[in-house]
Structures are given as structure tokens and as C-alpha cells.
Amino acid sequence: MPPKVLFLTLKVFGFTGGIEKVCRSICRALYDLGEENTLEPTVYSMYDKYFERDSRYLKKQQYQGFNEHRKYFVIKSLLKGIRSDVIILSHINLLSVGYLIKRFSPKTKVYLIAHGIEIWRKLPEPKLKALNRLDKIIAVSHFTAEKIKSIHGIKAEKIEILNNCIDPFYFFPENFSKPEPLLKRYGLNPNQKILMSLSRVVSSEKYKGYDNTISILPQLIKKYPEVVYLIAGKSDEEEKLRLEKLIIKHQIADHIKLIGFIDEAEITDHFLLSDIFVMPSKKEGFGIVFIEAMASGLCVVAGNKDGSVDALKNGELGKLVNPDDSNEIEKTLNELLKSPLDHEEKIALQKSVLKAFSYEKYRESIRKLIQQ
């Protein structure tokens, strides 16, 4: 009999953040391994609605969305969990459910996916106790693994590092010309040098690095008068107002655009529109956006103090900079603007990213974790 695997999540299909993208890749891996009769998968999502399921990632009979009915989710997860062989928790906020399952069924293996800041902070004693009862913590980067060891005192043998992957349905462009509709939408011309960042633009997450990029923009403009910086991502009012004040302060209103939320279907086109993706973050757990940008043939500049190091393969795939050193960021951007990638180099970058972070490689790692 193949092992019964229960994947417990908060959201998979109702949102498009990095954690949700990880969850979708896991769902597809479970789907494929189920087809091979390697395992018998079930996915419960606390906040998703049942009709939000994407059939590319899961069969109808493999999935249940609980539409925010948390008590019902917990009860059903407990009943299903004690009859399962392996439980995978998508987020530390599901730790208590995993702990309950482990209490009632000690032989059931319980794994937790550890992404980033959600597990880097100090935990209350009950959560720390539950964390220590887990059979395995699956960290998305070496940086996150080190944080778990140093902050929570978890032994190295309990931690498995599994880098995130490119979505199995991600579109790899072969034509790298800038999309005309987006040039028109933003009032740009094909010869302009375009920098881009994509992240949540919220007051609680000021570590993404766009502040430093804004501060060096006046110097870049002197060398590249037509340079434009696009900051994409859903914003809250407080952070938007703060950025607008920064723009006025640096007198760069003609060279920066806060373009807001981008629909998932248009993300690749925005990468193609840009010349450099720049996000020297300090608290990135991994950074799926980096590997997506590089898969679209885009130069990437990221910080060297967090999980971005894994996403850029220690600098093999892109440029790692000190996120606190504006001079280093400026120098790196100058070099990249001066020597842009040609078509062959973009194709080579795509191939390197796919080799490092392919879905097939990820699926095999999931298989090994469960077969252990």
C-alpha cells in the first residue's frame, strides 16, 4: 500500500504570494507521485474555497477547501491525520494541528515547511515544544536553516534544505523584446533602461531594498538620463505615502512609477519589459521572484545577507550585493546597465536557472522525503 500523505495549508489557490506558489508546486508533486502510485495524497486548505482549486495542480478528489471554517478544518485534519502516514504542514501557523496529530498518532511522520521570517522570531514555549516534536523541518534555504538552528536550538539532523522551484507551468519566453502593450500603458519607449522591483509594498516590510534603490536613482540618472524604476506590488496607504515623499525628496518623479498589483498572467511580460530586476532585501527566506525573473532572461541584483543567496546560487546566476551599501548597489547597477545581456546570454541564463531549480528535481526531492 502506498503511504497516505496529508498536506495541510492555509492558502494555495486564493492568493499568489511566494508561500502559495511553493504550496502549488508541492500539490503538483503530490499529484504526479499519486499518479505513479508512489503515495496517496490529500490536500486540506483552511482559507481556500472548494471551487478555487486549479485542476492543473490537484484532482477534485484530492482536495478540500474549508472557506475559513477553522474549527471544521482542525477537526477534519485531526481525523484524517491520525489515519495518515505523513503530514506536511505548509506554515508554522499550522504547528498546533501537527502537534495534536503527533500526540494521537506518534507513528505518523510530521514535517513542516519553513519559509522565512515566520519562523525566524522567538517562539512561545508551547510552540517551541511542538517544533521539537516534529520529525523534520524542511527549510527553503541555507539561511533559514541556520536561523532555525541558532534561534530555536533545533539539531541539524532534523533539518532538511529544499530550495523552491520554478512552477511546473511557468512560461519560459523565447522572444525577449519589450511588450508593446506595457510600453504604452506606462508611457515608455523600447530604448529606455528599466529597473524593476516586485514585492509587497507595505509598512511592515521595509526590508525589501527599494529604499536604497530610490536613494541612488539620482546618480544613475546622471549617467542614464532615460532610466526608469518600476516598483510593482500591492501597497498599503501608509507605505505608498512614505514612498511618494521619498520621490519628492530625491526629485525623481519622472523616473519612477509605483505600478501597484500585477496580475499573475502579466508577471513574465513585466520581466520582459525590464532590463534589471533589483531587490537587495535583508529578510528574504528564498525569493521565488528572483528565479522567475532569471527564467525570463532578466539580470537580477539581490542582497547577500538572506535566503536570496540560495536563489542566485551564491552569485552564479546573478549579482549579490550588500543591501546596506548604497555605493555597492549603485556600482553593480552601473555595470549591468553598461553591459546588458544579449539574446544568447539570456537563453543561457534560462537554462542555468532551469537546471538549478527545475520542478522535476523538486518532485524527486519530495519523493525522497516521503520515502524516508
pLDDT tens sequence for the chain (372 residues)? 899 999 999 999 988 889 999 999 999 999 999 999 999 999 999 999 999 999 999 999 999 999 999 999 999 999 999 999 999 999 999 999 999 999 999 999 999 999 999 999 999 999 999 999 999 999 999 999 999 999 999 999 999 999 999 999 999 999 999 999 999 999 999 999 999 999 988 877 666 788 889 999 999 999 999 999 999 998 888 888 899 998 999 999 999 999 999 998 999 999 999 999 999 999 899 999 999 999 999 999 999 999 999 999 999 999 999 999 999 999 999 999 999 999 999 999 999 999 999 999 999 999 999 998
Task: Tell me the pTM.
Answer: 0.94
Cβ proximity of 91 and 97 under 8 Å: no
Interatomic CA distance for residues 44 and 77, integer angstroms: 7
pLDDT at residue 206, as a whole number: 64
The alpha carbon dihedral of 24, 158, 147, 294 has a sign of negative
Tell me the three cell numbers of residue 357.
Answer: 531549480
d(CA 246, CA 253): 10
User: In this predicted structure, what is the pLDDT of residue 207?
Assistant: 64
Q: Which domains does the chain have, with CATH numbers?
A: 4-165+358-371 (3.40.50.2000), 180-356 (3.40.50.2000)
Q: How far is residue 131's CA from residue 122's CA, in Å, rounded to a whole number? A: 12
The three-state secondary structure class of 114 is strand
Q: Give residue 209's region: left, alpha or beta (phi > 0; psi -120 to 50).
A: left
pLDDT at 310: 98
Tell me, what's the pLDDT at 329? 96
